[in-house]
Amino acid sequence: MLPLPFRQLHPRTVLASRGHQDVPISSVTFDSRQVSPGSLFVALPGATVDGATFIDDAIRRGAAAIVTEIPIDGLPVPAIQVPDARRALSEIACTFYGHPSSRMTVIGITGTKGKTTTTYLIQSILRRAHGQAFRLGTVEYDLGFTRLPARNTTPESLELVSLLAQALKKGVTAGVMEVSSHALKTWRVEDLTFAAAGFTNLSLEHSEFHPTMEDYYQAKRRLFLELLPRGRPAVIGIDDEWGRRLAEDCRQAGIRFRTLSLTNPQADFVAADLAPNAVSQRFTLVAQGQRIPIDLPLVGSFNVANAMMAAALCQGLGIPWAAITEGLATVGTVPGRFETIPNARGLTVIVDYAHSPAALQNVLAAARPLTKGRLITVFGCGGNRSREKRPVMGRLSATLSDITVVTSDNPRKEKPEDIIAEIMAGITPLAPTERGEVQVEPDRRKAIALAIGLARPGDLVLIAGKGHETGQTFADRTIPFDDREVAREYLEGPTHA
């Protein structure tokens, strides 16, 4: 890319400036280790470390200019002071890369559950309509021509805009991305141009970041009330109170939207004639007087809702129903989302990312009809995350499973036994007649082995919480760990744990 004058990259709000503001900028970074001569270094505040402490290091490495929230007196290179460095970074990134989203069809999906699967479904439809499509989210960043590991559900604004620019350069002009509440609250998507947006649902999650559900909701609603251009397609799932509230907020703000529901026949998109089987399901999508048959190679009513969201958004963008139905029918496996692990033991083994009460309840409800024998659930809860959900999830698993094996998830900086004790607090008050058998095995590998060892032909083993993840995070390290690979290891081994 050709260098741009620093002045041209200025965000809208600048509190102070010093030095030659037309110095050429050849790259932008917020990591001082990536600074090279000609770089603009944006010092971001962090939860544990303030980027401003690395300004001197950035200058030593050749930074041409600095953007920071702290006073800039005495800095030996051109600099500006801004009220919010993350907000400024979003503007700078879009300007530096030429606002790629304004020349693309970018669909944003937000909500607690269903974002990832919905993005896979939309990408499949967009491929039918456009030939290529990008997808950014929790599992990976698929640019349509290459795949990159995902560090966050929604990348920092600089990385996000860079990814879009790379896709556009390769001729990929349409795609979909998960929009997390973290991203909405920290300005990562602030200056993107969205072509459409969907809200799946909202339930208890991320309380370590959002002090209240109200704060969580306010972050999500920004996508519709502040960021989505007026007149662009908006689709809202109204099967929970937060979706219904968002619909009302949009209505009062004069924002056009459409609704979907699995239970409310008054919604704009509803499902009828559901016919599930062990590996797929058929249903009729009733949409504005039309009845469209849908074949979906995914199970669970929650995936019907995800498919409806994908269909509604793509139809709102003018994509023909033929491309929509073909895209839904041909979507591939979504990694770690109700993913079946084939085996020769006569067991059904499913790995799912469910790590919230609502998600766990959904997958257990979807698993029960597929279970000929006993339903055996392995799960834990992540450390340094939403402690209040732990007893709730314990109670759900114990009451909806025949056997529960409580184990570790990603303990992070907490002791696994402390997390397990909080999970068990939701189980121990239950009478034996109110719950299934419960065992505790803090070692997740051993817990998976235990569950598979207990299973008999016809049983279903659900391994919940980590899904597609390929590591387990402790206080001082992350070790390689993939629930799917561990399950395969024990399924192919001896018939007892």
Cβ burial of 154 (10 Å; 0-12, 13-18, 19+) is buried
pLDDT at 494 over 90: no
Distance CA 183, CA 126 (A): 24
Task: Work out the pLDDT band at 493, boundaries 50, 70, 90.
Answer: confident
The domain boundary residue, chosen from 329, 360, 386: 329
CATH of residue 196: 3.40.1190.10
Mean pLDDT, residues 194-209: 87
Which of 96, 116, 144 is a domain's end point?
96
Strand pairing class (437-440; 403-406): parallel
Residue 410, marked binder? yes
Would the annotation count 180 as a binding residue?
yes
Say whether both 460 and 325 belong to one domain: no
Mean pLDDT of 31-50: 94
Is residue 114 part of an annotated ligand binding site? Answer: yes
Q: Is residue 469 marked as binding?
A: yes
Q: Any bridge partners for residue 287, and if so which?
A: 269, 290
Does 412 appear as a known binding residue? yes
89 and 110 share a domain? no
Asked if residue 496 is part of any domain, the answer here is: no
> Are 316 and 349 found together in one domain?
no
Whether 495 shows a pLDDT value over 60: the answer reads no
Is 191 annotated among the ligand-binding residues?
Answer: no
Query: How many structural domains is the chain composed of?
Result: 3
* pLDDT over 80 at 429, yes or no: yes
277 is in an annotated binding site: no
- Domain limit, last residue, from 77, 96, 115: 96
- 117 labeled binding residue: yes
Residue 350: pLDDT above 80?
Answer: yes
pLDDT for res 30: 97
- Is 446 part of any known ligand binding site? no
* Residue 367 near residue 462 (C-beta atoms within 8 A): yes
115 in a labelled binding site: yes
Q: Is 169 annotated as a binding residue?
A: no
pLDDT of residue 497: 45
The answer to whether 433 is a known ligand-binding residue is no
Q: Domain range for residue 111?
A: 100-329
Residue 385 sits in the same domain as residue 407: yes
CB 20 within 8 A of CB 91: no
Does residue 233 share a domain with residue 114?
A: yes
CATH assignment of the domain containing 382: 3.90.190.20
Q: Are residues 215 and 357 in the same domain?
A: no
Instruction: Kindly state whether residue 334 falls inside one of the protein's structural domains.
Output: no
Residues 401-426 as b or e (16 or more Cβ within 10 Å = b): bbbbbbbbbbbeebebeebbebbbeb
Positive or negative torsion for Cα 334, 355, 460, 455:
positive
409 annotated among ligand-binding-site residues:
yes
DSSP E strands, 277-402: 281-287, 290-296, 339-340, 348-352, 375-379
What pLDDT sits at residue 217?
Answer: 96
| pLDDT at residue 208 greater than cutoff 90 | no
The pLDDT value given to residue 2: 85
pLDDT tens per residue across span 138-162: 999 999 999 999 999 999 999 999 9
415 annotated ligand binder = no
Entry pTM: 0.94
**Same structural domain, 87 and 105:** no
Q: pLDDT category, 205, cuts 50, 70, 90? A: confident
Q: Are residues 161 and 48 in the same domain?
A: no
Task: Answer yes or no: do 311 and 366 share one domain.
Answer: no
93-131 per-position pLDDT tens digit: 999 999 999 999 999 999 999 999 999 999 999 999 999
